[in-house]
Every structure is written in structure tokens, then in C-alpha cells.
Amino acid sequence: MTFDAQPWISVVIPMKDERENILPLSDQLLTFLRSREESQCAAFEIVFVDDGSTDHSARVFQDLMKEHAEVRVVSFDRNYGQTAAFDAGFRHAKGALIVTLDGDLQYDPVDIGRLLPLANHYDVVCGRRERRNDDVIRRWSSRLANSVRNAVIHDGIHDTGCSLKVFHRSVLDRIPLFKGMHRFFPALAQMYGFTVTEIPVQHFPRIHGQSKYGVGNRLFASLYDLFAVRWMQSRALNYTVKQSSRQDVSE
């Protein structure tokens, strides 16, 4: 079967010490993506970013790549954090659409199908966890951070911590990324004139492993970065070119 040169979609997944989740997640993603009509005429890819895992995840990734040509792995020499992992994944991904997803099995890859129709009308589509399956402290800290964020930067997104998102490549080619900026993808996109919406998705309890991002770096770090984003909003270059022409140099 001959495919278009560019994959129609890339799924980017940062992972750190999630060895037990790698195979179940990849199986779910492969099943979903192979079932899509778009995959009958264009390739797809799954890009795992190993963010300095120490649990021998590398062995599982190597076996997975040998078995499935659609799987790619970007490996860091140490842990650099979630924003760096996303950035590396975006730079290696080749798809026209880029999906982001956590590697903890708390999202159903089938829900990507909920977001895709909206990607025909919006530049960024964000998932919103309709019934969040986390402990009370995590839910409370996330709710507080979302409320404060919306009050300061007015991005209109209720659950920016939901990792399930779909981006058009043009968005990720345009927005700047710095440490901690993965928390503000919607605001960064809006800053440069891109359209953003959200839709409810499912959320499940974590079965294997533990979260690598606690209350401290979800709440306090995001509040620290919030004012940097607010400053960027006031300084961002956002313009529309009406016409571009070239005068004949012989005139």
C-alpha cells in the first residue's frame, strides 16, 4: 500500500518511568489509528519521548519499534521535564495534525476521535475531563490553578491540564516554548491568532505507576509561570499580511 509522504497524524507522548503502561497504551493507539479511514490512504505515527526513565523503559521501547514501523522513540540523556519532552516530540513529529497525550493510561485513545471533527474548524482542540478520576487534593489544586489562570490570561479553557489535545502543525511551528509552557498551550495559540475550543473526554483512574507531577509543580510552578505568559500576551507580535509583492528590479 502506497501512502502520502506526510503522516496525516502524529501522537506525541512524553513518558517517564511508565514501563508498565507502554505496551497497553501502544496497543490501544495502534488499534484506534489503524481503524481510522484516514489511515487507509496516509501513514500515521506514534512518537514516544522517554524523559530520562530509569525503570528500563528503553528495552520495551526498542522491542516496540522493531515490531511496529509506526512507532518512533526520542530518548533524553536525563530528565528534562514535560515541556522539553513535548518540544522534542513536536520537532520529530511529521504529521499534519499533532495529538498530545499522557502516558499514564488515564485517557482512552478512542477519544481522539471526539476531537478530530472539531479540528476541521479550529486550530487547537482541547479535551476537558468531564469526570476526573484523581484524588481530592489533585482535583482541588487543578481547579484552583485553572480558575486563577482564566482570571489572569482569559483563555476561556476550563481544563488546560488535560493532556489530550489536537493541534494543526502550523500552531506548533509558530508558538514559542519555554520551561513550564505546556500548561499554557491554549493561551499561547490564541496569542498568535489561532482558534481554540474544548470538548469533554473520559478520564480513568491510574492503574500502574505514580504521577511524576505533584501538587507543587502543578499548582505553584504554574502560578509562577502565569505572569510570564501574561507579559508575553502584552508583547506578542500578531499581524496579518494584506499583500506581498516583488517589484521588477529592472524598472
Nearest to 194 by CA among 128, 119, 82: 119
Q: What is the pLDDT of residue 226?
A: 74
What 3-state DSSP class applies to 71? strand
Q: What is the pLDDT of residue 11?
A: 99
Q: How far is CA 219 from the centre of its chain?
A: 19
- Tens digit of pLDDT for each residue in 16-56? 999 999 999 999 999 999 999 999 999 999 999 999 999 99
Cell of 139: 482535583
Percentage of residues in the chain with pLDDT exceeding 70? 79
DSSP summary character for residue 110 = G
Rounded to the nearest integer, the mean pLDDT of the chain is: 86
- Tens digit of pLDDT for each residue in 7-18? 999 999 999 999
- Tens digit of pLDDT for each residue in 144-166? 666 666 666 767 788 888 999 99
Mean pLDDT of 227-249: 71
Nearest to 126 by CA among 45, 183, 63: 183
What beta strand segments (E) does 96-236 contain? Answer: 97-100, 124-129, 165-168, 196-201
Domains recognised in the chain with CATH numbers: 4-235 (3.90.550.10)
Q: What is the pLDDT of residue 130?
A: 83
Please check the confidence at residue 117 and state whether its pLDDT lies above 80. yes
Q: What is the residue whose three cell numbers read 489509528? A: 33
| CA 224 – CA 237 distance, rounded (Å) | 23
* Structure confidence at residue 136 as a pLDDT band (50, 70, 90): low
Cell of 227: 505572569
Q: What is the pLDDT of residue 62?
A: 97
Instruction: Please say whether the beta carbons of 46 and 35 come within 8 A.
Output: no
| CA 228 – CA 222 distance, rounded (Å) | 10
Q: What is the pLDDT of residue 147?
A: 63
